Amino acid sequence: MLLINNPPITPRENYIRAAKHRNPLWLPMKSDSVNFAPRIYPDNVARAFVVDGMPYDGPVGGADIFGVQWKYIDIAGGSMVEPGRPFLKEVSEWREKVCFPELDRWDWEKSAEENREFLNTDKLVTAWIFNGLFERLISFVDFEAAAVALIDEEQQDDVKALFQELADFYKRLIDKFVEYYHVDAIFFHDDWGSQRAPFFSLDICREMIVPYMKQIVEHCHKKNLIFDFHSCGKNEALVPAMLECGMDIWGGQPMNDKRMLVEAYGDQILIGIHCPYNQAVPAPENDEELYRQVEGFLAPYAENIKEKPFFLMDLKPDNRVREAFYKCSMKLLQK
């Protein structure tokens, strides 16, 4: 039997330990968690990402919770709002045109029953929330207008008022995930950058986004939830803002300097490191060589790994790879 299939503590407990910097026994892997994106939340259907207890073969795309229409793009494997036809012509229109859904009218009890077995796991259950603050603003007014609104003094108050309403709504939604599904973490989506740089400066992020995102994070912590931030782009310059919000985890994409991030911030936030093996780079077939390579991969982090652990964005490697990372990281963390 593989040791990783019979660990001394559950993957859930180990993941939580790592996120809270409380002596994990091994470096958690993304496969130690369960993604949960139930169909009851219309954004999951609109964004073409339903992951719950029953096979989903229904339509994808369509209206999100605010009636914004999303179109599924086959080549991208996801959905986008059709540009050039914004839901709002100006941000100030949100008070008249944006109608927040009444969550109590959704059949949460039925959804909870349908997902009971799916959520019966010893892994970290992570509920996805699509379309965070900036992403939601983009969906309302298109990207260019959203970016301008963050820095336009005449629009900033309207943006802040919208973000406050969104923060309050997301807190109510999180309450439902806790009450009916007993999730362990919230995986909150808000892309902040492109492949080369953030969409906005750290100062703008601190003024326009941090106060509202911080409320969401603090609400998660009051509910004893881990806050896992999904934010695509080269956003390493915005990590101080993530810390000010109190975020627990940020995976991040490979264009970010992960070694620098772990060294600079690894004692405050759990950073995701991409596994060296994937479809393009298979793991060596020889076990001795596999362990040699895994030890070499971990070596640059070894000196401070207890104070600055990270998690492995393992892209579903096979059991041999998982076992190698489990054993090698446990050896370093138990020294």
CATH of the domain at 152: 3.20.20.210
For residues 249 and 167, give the distance between their C-alpha atoms in angstroms, rounded to a whole number: 19
For residues 292 and 142, give the distance between their C-alpha atoms in angstroms, rounded to a whole number: 49
Hey, what's the torsion of the CAs at 242, 198, 160, 187, to 10 degrees?
A: -50
The number of distinct structural domains making up the chain is 1
For residues 97 and 86, give the distance between their C-alpha atoms in angstroms, rounded to a whole number: 12
Q: How many CB atoms lie within 10 A of CB 257?
A: 13
pTM over 0.95: yes
Q: CB-based burial of residue 306 (10 Å sphere; 0-12 exposed, 13-18 middle, 19+ buried)?
A: middle
Tokens read off for 198: 């953030």
Residues paired with 272 in a beta bridge: 311
Instruction: Determine, yes or no, domain membership for 9.
Output: no
Instruction: Determine, yes or no, domain membership for 22.
Output: no
Instruction: Determine, yes or no, domain membership for 318.
Output: no
What lies within 8 Å, CB to CB, of 111 at 6+ separation is 38, 39, 40, 52, 180
Q: Please, are residues 139 and 131 in contact by the beta-carbon 8 Å criterion?
A: yes
State the pLDDT at residue 121.
98
> Would you call 285 helix, strand, or coil by DSSP?
coil
Domain hosting 230: range is 30-35+86-274
Q: Please, are residues 173 and 103 in contact by the beta-carbon 8 Å criterion?
A: yes
For residues 223 and 217, give the distance between their C-alpha atoms in angstroms, rounded to a whole number: 10
Q: Which one, of 110, 119, 108, 107, lies nearest residue 53 by Cα?
A: 119
Instruction: Determine, yes or no, domain membership for 152.
Output: yes
Q: How many CB atoms lie within 10 A of CB 139?
A: 24
Instruction: Determine, yes or no, domain membership for 171.
Output: yes
Instruction: Determine, yes or no, domain membership for 290.
Output: no
For residues 68 and 88, give the distance between their C-alpha atoms in angstroms, rounded to a whole number: 10
Q: Please, are residues 114 and 55 in contact by the beta-carbon 8 Å criterion?
A: no
For residues 103 and 126, give the distance between their C-alpha atoms in angstroms, rounded to a whole number: 20
User: pLDDT of the chain along its 335 residues, tens only?
Assistant: 688 889 999 999 999 999 999 999 999 999 999 999 999 999 999 999 999 999 999 999 999 999 999 999 998 889 999 888 999 999 999 999 999 999 999 999 999 999 999 999 999 999 999 999 999 999 999 999 999 999 999 999 999 999 999 999 999 999 999 999 999 999 999 999 999 999 999 999 999 999 999 999 999 999 999 999 999 999 999 999 999 999 999 999 999 999 999 999 999 999 999 999 987 889 999 999 999 999 999 999 999 999 999 999 987 778 999 999 999 999 999 98
Q: How many CB atoms lie within 10 A of CB 155?
A: 18
φ, ψ for residue 211 (rounded to 5)? -60, -30
Instruction: Determine, yes or no, domain membership for 19.
Output: no
Instruction: Determine, yes or no, domain membership for 314.
Output: no
For residues 69 and 85, give the distance between their C-alpha atoms in angstroms, rounded to a whole number: 10
For residues 293 and 302, give the distance between their C-alpha atoms in angstroms, rounded to a whole number: 14
Alpha carbon separation from 234 to 33, 180, 255, 331 (Å, rounded):
25, 35, 6, 32
DSSP 82: P
Q: Which one, of 136, 231, 234, 221, lies nearest residue 186 by Cα?
A: 221
